[in-house]
Amino acid sequence: MSGAPPKPWPAARTGTQAGAQPVAMPPAPVALSVPADGADTVRRIASAMAPLDPALVLLFGMPSEGLPALGAALRDALGQGCRIVGCSSVGEIGPRGYCAQTVTALGFPSASFRVGICVLRDQALVPVSEWMSTLRRFQSDFRHDLRRSSFGVLLADALARQEDVLTATLDAAIPGLPVVGGSSAEGMRFGPTCQMVDGQAHSGAALFLLIETDLAAAEVSFSHFSPTDRRAVVTAADRHNRLILELNGEPAAQEYARLAGLAVEALTPTEFARHPLLLRTGRRHHVRAIRAITPQGGLQLLSGIEAGNILTLGRAMDMTRGFADVLDALPRPPLMVLGFDCVLRRLALERAGMDRQMSELLTRYRVAGFNTYGEQHSGMHVNQTFVGMALMPPEPG
């Protein structure tokens, strides 16, 4: 999106009940996007967030080398009672929908939110036992108020390629907690990301936030594909590096192109988004997104894969209509949706000329977050999916 940075969303403080006068509601989050290279970035974000007395400010975007300094400056400006957490990204979602080369800041008022932060170190090394004990101790120390809603946010390092184990470990350590999140890397070049807490960079770590609120919270997800009748068996794979080497006994890229009806040289990230590979788990199909073709003709994925997996070629459907249906099904209009939207969905929307239409929907439903290289929800790591946490006024009474 281009143009002048929008004003932040106002914090909603009043609501109505049928046949009644306006009633007080808890303060809602506020989102703001500003240029990443702006000289007054700190001042603009701090001035927008200070009236909230925020318990938490999330930052998405910004070149990775600049994010720790921004986080430290905002911690100084907003006080030690405000936690500053963020990551670099491939694109952002702000008050005007899709944006790029910005810093999108989300402020969560302390009057309605409480947050705990757990750093899960050495994501690439998968220290599952250490993560388990750390998460259980963290949850116990948090002392959740059962009268309030709670949910988790996971910011993972996409380059570590271990989100499948990470999400399963988190789901086992804190069962029943709704968790959403995204995998981050810097820009379309899939460069090293920065995970930051209070101005300190945590290289190679995943960040887990436990958030408690007196707002109502509901997990939402949306994907825009359906399975076709074209299938393939993974006959050779490099599980550690998420590589498909062979499909149906043929070089993976060659066989994928045949199934998709394309020439190998025509395969691009946009075509990968239009023709996803689906893995069925239970009753649902989940995308195993393709990031690139290797020089040897293999397929580099963004999710785990194993020899013997049966994959189905997917067909892209309407990328916007179902999105509105999902959010309209919520019991009350959201005050904000913390959203994680796959960058491959964004590329497909841009290719179809529907990115402005999608941005209008994101704005209408007050979605803010970032574009990802993988999404986490319901204890799973998925691709080419929108996942989010809708924050709504509490149920009347």
What percent of the chain clears pLDDT 70, i.e. is strictly above it?
93
Q: Tell me the average pLDDT of the chain.
A: 88
pLDDT tens track for 104-125: 999 999 999 999 999 999 998 9
pLDDT bracket for residue 25 (50, 70, 90): low
Alpha carbon distance 335, 339 (integer Å): 13
Q: List the chain domain ranges.
A: 14-222+320-392, 225-316
Residues ≥6 apart with Cβ < 8 Å to 8: 30, 31, 32, 48, 95, 107
Distance CA 383, CA 273 (A): 10
pLDDT 10s digits, 258-306: 999 999 999 988 888 888 899 887 677 888 889 889 999 999 998 889 9
Separation of alpha carbons 223 and 237, rounded Å: 26
Distance between CA 37 and CA 30 in Å, rounded?
A: 21
How does pLDDT run across 52-70, given as a tens digit for each residue?
A: 999 999 999 987 788 999 9
CA distance 144 to 294: 47
CB-based contact 173:70 (threshold 8 Å)? no
Does the model's pTM come out above 0.95?
no
Dump pLDDT digits (tens) for 171-229: 999 999 999 999 998 877 777 888 999 999 998 999 999 999 999 999 999 887 888 99
